[in-house]
Amino acid sequence: MINTGIVFKKPLALNAFLKNGLLILLLLFSSLSFGQTAEAEANFAVCKACHTIGGGKLVGPDLKGVTERREEAWILRFVKNSTEFIQSGDPVAKQVFEENNSIPMPPNNLTDEQIKDILLYIENGGKVAGASEAVVEQTPKPAQDELESTMILAEKKQAEAQNLYITFIILSVLIVISIFDLLVSKILKARWIHVVIMLISVVVIGEIVFLESAALGRQQYYQPEQPIMFSHKVHAGQNKIDCKYCHFTADESMHAGIPPVNVCMNCHSQVKQGKLTGTKEIDKIYSAIERNKPIEWIKVHNLPDHVYFNHAQHVNVGKVACAECHGPVEKMDQIIQVEDLSMGWCIQCHREKEVQFADNKFYDQYTKLHQQIKSGKISKVTVQMIGGDECQKCHY
Ligand code: HEC
Ligand code: HEC
Ligand code: HEC
Ligand code: HEC
Ligand code: HEC
Ligand code: HEC
C-alpha cells in the first residue's frame, strides 16, 4: 500500500530515487501503452501517399531517420502546417521545400501527441509495437514486362479493329460497284467476275460482323476524353501517389470511386501549375470549386446492370492488384480499358486464381476444403472452388 504521508517523511535521497523511479516507470509505461499505437498506423496511412519509411523518396522525402536529422519541435511545426512554417522564414524548412521540387505538404489536423506517436511508429520502422509481421501491408508488385506487353497488345488490337473497319468499308463499296456495273455501266463483260467479287465480299463481311457482334456492348480499349486532362502517369507514376489515396473506397466498398474535387485540393491548393499544361488544366479544378459543382468525369469501365462486381472483395479479400484488371495505369496519361470485361474474362481468372486460404478469416466457413488441404487431397483452392463460377454470385 502506498501512503503518501510516509513518502514525505523519507530522507531526501530516497525521495529523489523514488521520483526518478516513478518517472522512468511512467516513461516506460507511456511508451508501451500510449506510444506506437494502432492509431499511429492509421494516421500514417495519410502520410503514406507521399512518404515511405526506408523505401526511398516518393512525393516527399523518405522519413527513415527523420527524428535524427530534425528536432522534434521542428517536425511538429512542419507536420501541422509546413507552408506557414516555410513562409515564416525557417531556413531548414525552406531548404527541404526547395529540394522537393517546391511541392507543398498539406497541413494536418493532428495533435502533438498524435504526431509524436507517428514519430515512434517511424522509428520502429513502420510497425506497431508488438504487432505481428502479418499485419504489415504488402503491396503486390505487378510484373512490369507483362504489363508493357499488355499495352503493346492493346495498341495492336486497336489497330486491328481499325483495319477491320476499313476492310468492311472497302468491301461494301466493292459490292455496290459490282452491282452497279452488272446492272448499269456493264464495263466488265465477264459476269462471273462480279459474282466472285460479291461472294468473297459477303463472306468476309459476314466474318467481320460475327467477330464484332461477339464483342458488342463491350468497350475494350475505350478511351474517352475527360473534362480535365488528368494524367495517371504524372500522379501515380512520376509522383508515386498511392492509388488508394485517391480511390480510397476500393478497400471497403463495391466501388473504387473517383476522388471528389477536395481531394485534388489537398495538393492543388498549392500546386498551381503543371509541367505539361501550365495553369490551363489545374485552373479547371478551381472553377469547379468556385461553381461548387463536381467535375463530370466520364466513366471508362462499365459492366451491364445485371452483373454484380465488388472492388473490396477483389482488392481487400482476394488481394488482386489493380494492375491485373486495369493494366499499367501508372504509365497512362489517359485511362484506357485494357480488358474486355467479358464473362469469359471473369470466369477464366476465377478458374486459375488461387485464393489465399490459410490464415484468412473470410474462408473459415469452408471447413470441407480446409480438411481436404490438410489431408493432402488438394494442394490449392481456386476462386471457382469457393463458388466463383455460380451464376447468382455475379448476376442479380
Ligand atoms: C501530399 C503529399 C504529402 C503528404 C500526404 C504528407 N507529406 Fe510530408 N512532405 C511532403 C513533401 C513534398 C515534403 C518535402 C517538404 C516540402 O516540399 O514542403 C514533406 C516533408 C515532410 C517532413 C520533413 C522531412 C525532412 O526530411 O525534413 C516530415 C517530417 C513529413 N513530411 C512528415 C509527414 C507526416 C507525418 C505526414 C502525415 C501526417 C505527411 N508528411 C504527409 C509531402 C507530403
Ligand atoms: C478483379 C478485377 C479488378 C480489380 C483487381 C480492380 N478493379 Fe477497378 N474495376 C473493375 C471492373 C470490372 C470495373 C467496372 C465496374 C462497374 O462498372 O461496375 C472497375 C471500375 C473501376 C473504377 C471506376 C469507378 C468504379 O468504382 O466503378 C475505378 C476508379 C477503379 N476500378 C479503380 C481500381 C483501383 C484503384 C483498383 C486497385 C485498388 C482496382 N480498380 C482493382 C475491375 C477491377
Ligand atoms: C497528392 C498530391 C496530389 C493530388 C491529390 C492531386 N494532384 Fe494533380 N498534381 C500533383 C503534382 C505533384 C503535379 C505535378 C506538377 C508538375 O508538373 O510539376 C500535379 C499535376 C497536375 C496537373 C497538371 C499536369 C501537367 O503536368 O500539366 C493536373 C491537370 C492535375 N494535377 C490535376 C489533378 C486533379 C484533377 C486532381 C484530383 C482528382 C489532382 N490533380 C490531385 C499532385 C497532386
Ligand atoms: C491523384 C489522384 C489519383 C491517383 C493517385 C490515382 N487515380 Fe485513378 N483516377 C483519378 C481520377 C480523377 C480519375 C477519373 C479521370 C480519368 O478517368 O482519368 C481516375 C480514373 C481511374 C480509372 C478509370 C475509372 C473509370 O472511369 O472506369 C481507373 C481504372 C483508375 N483510375 C485506376 C487507378 C490506379 C490503378 C491507380 C494507381 C496506380 C490510380 N488510379 C491512381 C484519380 C487518381
Ligand atoms: C484477375 C483475377 C480476377 C478477375 C479478372 C475477376 N475476379 Fe472475381 N474474384 C477473384 C478472386 C481472387 C476472388 C476471391 C475473393 C474472395 O474470396 O472473395 C474473386 C471473387 C469473386 C466473387 C465472389 C465469389 C464467392 O464465391 O464469394 C464474385 C461475385 C466475383 N469475383 C465477381 C467477378 C466478376 C463479375 C468479374 C468480372 C467482371 C470478376 N470477378 C473478375 C479474382 C478475379
Ligand atoms: C464470375 C462472374 C460471372 C459468373 C459466375 C457468371 N457470369 Fe454471366 N456474365 C458475367 C459478365 C461480366 C457478363 C457481361 C459481360 C459480357 O457481355 O460478356 C455476363 C453476361 C451474361 C449474359 C448476357 C450475355 C450477353 O451477351 O449479354 C448471360 C445470359 C449470362 N451472363 C448468363 C450466365 C449464367 C447462366 C451463368 C451461370 C452458369 C453465369 N452467367 C455466370 C459474369 C458472370
Specify whether 210 is located in the same domain as 223.
no
The reply to whether 7 falls in a domain is: no
- For residues 285 and 274, what is the distance between their CA atoms, to the nearest angstrom? 13
181 versus 369: which is more confidently predicted? 181
pLDDT at residue 254 tops 70: yes
Question: What pLDDT, on the 0 to 100 scale, is given for residue 59?
Answer: 79
Tell me how crowded residue 318 is: count the other CB atoms within 10 A of its CB: 20
Residue 372 pLDDT: 80
Ligand 5 neighbours by CB, cut-off 6 Å: 303, 307-309, 313-314, 317-318, 320, 324-325, 341, 345-346, 349-350, 353, 355, 383, 386-388, 393-394
| Number of separate domains in the chain | 4
Q: Given this model, what pLDDT does residue 33 score? A: 42
Domain boundary among 135, 155, 179: 135
Tell me the CA–centroid distance for residue 394 and ligand 1, in Å. 42
What is the predicted pLDDT for the residue at 375?
81
Strand (E) or helix (H) holding 250: none
Question: Given 214, 236, 253, which residue is the final one in a domain?
Answer: 214
Please name which of 224, 217, 236, 216 lies closest in space to residue 300, comparing C-alpha atoms.
Answer: 224
Q: Is residue 229 part of a domain?
A: yes
Question: What average pLDDT does this structure show over 123-138?
Answer: 58
Is residue 22 in some structural domain?
Answer: no
Expressed in angstroms and rounded, the spacing between residue 338 Cα and the centre of ligand 4 is 14
Q: Is residue 300 part of a domain?
A: yes
Q: From the CA of 264, how far away is ligand 1's center (Å)? A: 17
- Cα distance between residue 292 and residue 313, in whole Å: 33
Q: Are residues 221 and 326 located together in one domain of the fold?
A: yes
Q: In angstroms, rounded to a whole number, what is the distance separating the alpha carbons of residues 282 and 50? A: 20
Instruction: With beta carbons less than 8 A apart as the criterion, state whether 96 and 123 touch.
Output: no
User: Do 206 and 285 reside in the same domain of the chain?
Assistant: no
Look up residue 317 and give its three cell numbers.
479479400
Domain limit, last residue, from 164, 190, 214: 214
In a domain, 192, yes or no: yes
Which of 240, 242, 267 for mutating ligand 3's site (highest number of atoms within 8 Å of CB)? 267
CA-wise closest residue to 249 among 185, 171, 316, 324: 316
Work out the angle at residue 32's Cα, subtended by the Cα atoms of residues 30 and 38, and round it to the nearest 5 degrees.
105
Q: What percent of the chain has pLDDT over 90?
A: 29
CB-CB contact of 28 with 106 (8 Å):
no
Of all protein residues, the one whose alpha carbon is nearest to atom 6 of ligand 5 is 346
Ligand whose nearest atom lies closest to the CA of 234: 3
pLDDT of 24 strictly over 50: no
CA distances to 78, 104, 272, 314 from 269, in Å: 17, 9, 7, 34
133 vs 334 pLDDT, higher one:
334
| Residue 79 sits in the same domain as residue 129 | yes
Closest CA relative to residue 394, chosen from 354, 356, 357, 342: 342
pLDDT tens track for 303-351: 988 999 999 999 988 889 999 999 899 988 889 888 888 888 899 899 8
Residue-number span of the structural domain to which 350 is assigned = 342-396
Give yes or no: residues 334 and 364 share one domain: no
> Looking at the structure, do residues 176 and 124 belong to the same domain, yes or no?
no
Q: Is the pLDDT of residue 353 over 80?
A: yes
- Using the atom order of ligand 1, give the atom closest to the CA of residue 75: 29
Choose one of 249, 302, 307, 325 to mutate for the ligand 2 pocket test, by most ligand atoms within 8 angstroms of C-beta. Answer: 325
323 lines ligand 2 (CB under 6 A): no
pLDDT value at residue 22: 42
* Assigned domain for 19 exists: no
Please indicate, yes or no, whether residues 262 and 235 belong to a single structural domain of this protein: yes
- Residue 89 in any domain: the answer is yes
pLDDT at 36 over 60: no
- Residue type (1 letter), 15: N
Cα–Cα distances in angstroms (integers) from residue 308 to residues 302, 319, 391, in the given order: 11, 18, 10
The pLDDT, as a whole number, for residue 146 is 53
Render pLDDT for 65-87 as a digit per residue (tens, 0 to 9).
Answer: 999 999 999 999 999 988 889 98
Closest CA to 243 of 39, 54, 48, 104: 48
pLDDT for 10 equals: 36
| pLDDT above 60: residue 131 | no
Q: In the structure, what pLDDT confidence band is assigned to residue 13 with cuts at 50, 70 and 90?
A: very low
Mutate to test the pocket of ligand 1, among 44, 50, 81 (most ligand atoms within 8 A of CB): 50
The helix/strand/coil state of 303 is: coil
User: Is residue 183 pLDDT above 70, yes or no?
Assistant: yes
Cα–Cα distance measured from residue 8 to residue 12, given in angstroms and rounded to the nearest whole number? 9
Q: First vs last Cα of the chain: how many Å apart?
A: 67
Residue having the nearest C-alpha atom to atom 22 of ligand 3: 274
Q: What is the mean pLDDT of residues 230-256?
A: 91
How many A from CA of 280 to the centre of ligand 1?
27
Mean pLDDT, rounded, for 363-381: 78
3-state secondary structure of 7: helix
CB 232, CB 338: distance < 8 Å: no
Q: DSSP secondary-structure letter at 87?
A: H
**101 vs 177, more confident:** 177
393 and 309 Cβ atoms separated by less than 8 Å: no
For the record, the C-alpha cell of 385 comes out as 472452388
333/32: higher pLDDT? 333
Q: How far is ligand 1, taken at its centre, from the CA of residue 393, in Å?
A: 43
pLDDT category of residue 137 using cuts at 50, 70 and 90: very low
C-alpha–C-alpha distance, residues 266 and 274, integer Å: 15
Which whole number is the average pLDDT over 82-105? Answer: 87
- Which is more confidently placed, 388 or 62? 62
User: Does the CB atom of residue 222 touch ligand 2 within 6 A?
Assistant: no
Place of cell 481531394: 263
Same domain, 326 and 358: no
Is residue 90 in a domain?
Answer: yes
Considering the domain architecture, whether residues 103 and 164 belong to the same structural domain is answered as no
Model confidence at 230: pLDDT above 80: yes
- Ligand 5 centroid to Cα of residue 353, in Å, is 9
Position 101 pLDDT exceeds 80: no
